[in-house]
Amino acid sequence: MKIYIDGKYYSRADARIPVFDHGLLYGDGVFEGIRIYNGNVFRLREHIERLYQSAKALYLKIPVSKDEMEDAVLRTVEINKKANGYIRLIVTRGEGPLGIDPFQCKRATVIIIVADIHLYPEEYYKKGIEIITASTRRMSSDCLDPRVKSLNYLNNVLAKIEARQAGCLEAIMLNRDGFVAECTGDNIFIVKDGELLTPSSYHGALDGITMRTVMEIAESLGITTCETTLTRYDLYNADECFLSGTGAEIVPVVKIDGRVTGSGSPGAITKMIMKRFILIIQI
């Protein structure tokens, strides 16, 4: 494995950042998770655009252009000879003195890791998973806009701990008004009366690349889609439910807070979308 750090490549054992890097000290930075399928980096430009938008929101200057960043990602994939895998693209505020002042950091640090990721056992993609609602609330947009994909995931980590302690792999996160936001690392969709519904980013959901892909697939199949307001009542009474994310891809949900979703098996629309997604990523 070769890891890119500021234009140079290092082995996993030798890849290092300073302990005074503000990404480590304060979670000050942004990142993207990106998939490689059959030698192709999936929707790379969309990920790059979102990375730079997140950085702009944090007043974080990325020291290379978008084109240069894209070339660096593709070169790192090539060097690692990965036909299928996962890319973690990270931009930290960089090294600086103790104290949160970002203006004390002279230059941001760019890191590109090409590896593998397996969030859920293969069997769950066929039979579905059970999820719970976490008591940990999603950070509200008046504190930090959920569209910023920052390095600080402690809010999500706490909800993930609740899920694991409940014997589940994933948890639903509500915003402070009690509306469904997202899961700890995935967007959430439900199907109700033939429509595909997902929480809006205004309620605390990340504007997901895979989420957008799912909505495009649904529309191509003639399925009405909508970003809307959802509560747990809507989830409990959904005909189908599934999660989407770069790492997770598309995972059916068959039980929520002990309540069976639909028939208790992955639904017909979920299966259609999963099948079409597989066709898209194989192109």
Distance (Å, whole) CA 36 – CA 32: 13
Which one from 81, 149, 192, 255 is the annotated catalytic residue? Answer: 149
The pair of structure tokens assigned to 210 is 């895979």
Q: Residue 204 in contact with residue 173, Cβ under 8 Å?
A: yes
66 is known as an active-site residue? no
- Interior angle at CA 129, CA 126 and CA 135, nearest 5: 165
Closest Cα partner for 183 from 165, 202, 162, 167? 162
The conformation of residue 101, written as its DSSP 8-state character, comes to: -
d(CA 36, CA 86): 6
Q: Are 131 and 108 in contact (CB under 8 A)?
A: no
Structure tokens of 140? Answer: 């509200």
Instruction: Mark out the alpha helices in the chain (DSSP H runs).
Output: 22-26, 44-57, 66-80, 122-127, 154-165, 209-220, 232-236, 268-281
Active site residues: 149
